[in-house]
Amino acid sequence: MVAPDGENGPRSWLRCYRCWSQNLEIQVHYEGIHRVDPDTGERGEVVDELQEAVVQCLDCMHDQPHLGFSDGRILPIEDRWERMVTGTPWVASCTVTVDADEVDTCSGPDAGDALSYAAFGDHGTREFFTHVRFHKHAEDEITVHLLVELYARSAEEASVVLQDASRGVLAITSLAEESRPPAAVDDPHA
């Protein structure tokens, strides 16, 4: 758990990881199946439910994959928020080689997402900015050539994050630090 105050409190993580704006919005999609109370007609006991939430910054319009939603409030995602909020963007040119079976589709409009997911799982589609440059087939394997932008506090951390997220054999050909996007104008932390 995160303490309500202090340096791990909401003021440190409840903001956009790119521009530090606190002008956030949440989109919640809820699907639920409930019992119906036969006397009152009220919605009752939950049979099944599915909730998806995406937090977005209203200043730079980016999704906030370091923030989750649970029990009516936004919470930081451990192991991710500190790196993303206090880190800087790193751009890696890399390849990931996976079994061809891991790739749902490698042509058509969904190919980019499918190849990004095969290479880096949810990190590839939700956290990193992933651009698939091209891919090559070799026997039963596919090598995906990508440009990836991710947030980290050092080159070492960026490499470790890429390594941990990789679902195949990762080779990093270059890794360079970019400058952070400008902070939001009304940011009280600037």
Which residue ranges make up the site for Zn ion (CB under 5 A)?
Answer: 16, 18-19, 21, 57, 59-60
Residue 20 or 117: the one with the smaller Cβ distance to Zn ion is 20
**CA angle centred on 46, ends 41 and 48, rounded to 5°:** 130
DSSP calls for 146-173: EEEEEEESSHHHHHHHHHHH-SSEEEEE
Residue 121 or 129: the one with the smaller Cβ distance to Zn ion is 129
| CB of residue 91 to Zn ion, shortest distance in Å | 19
Residue 56 or 125: the one with the smaller Cβ distance to Zn ion is 56
**CA angle centred on 95, ends 118 and 138, rounded to 5°:** 75
| CB of residue 55 to Zn ion, shortest distance in Å | 11
| CB of residue 40 to Zn ion, shortest distance in Å | 45
| CB of residue 115 to Zn ion, shortest distance in Å | 27
Q: Starting at the edge strand that comes first in sequence, how are the strands of the sheet with 88-99 ordered?
A: 129-138, 141-152, 88-99, 169-177
For the chain, how big is the Rg over CA atoms in Å? 20
Residue 19 or 92: the one with the smaller Cβ distance to Zn ion is 19
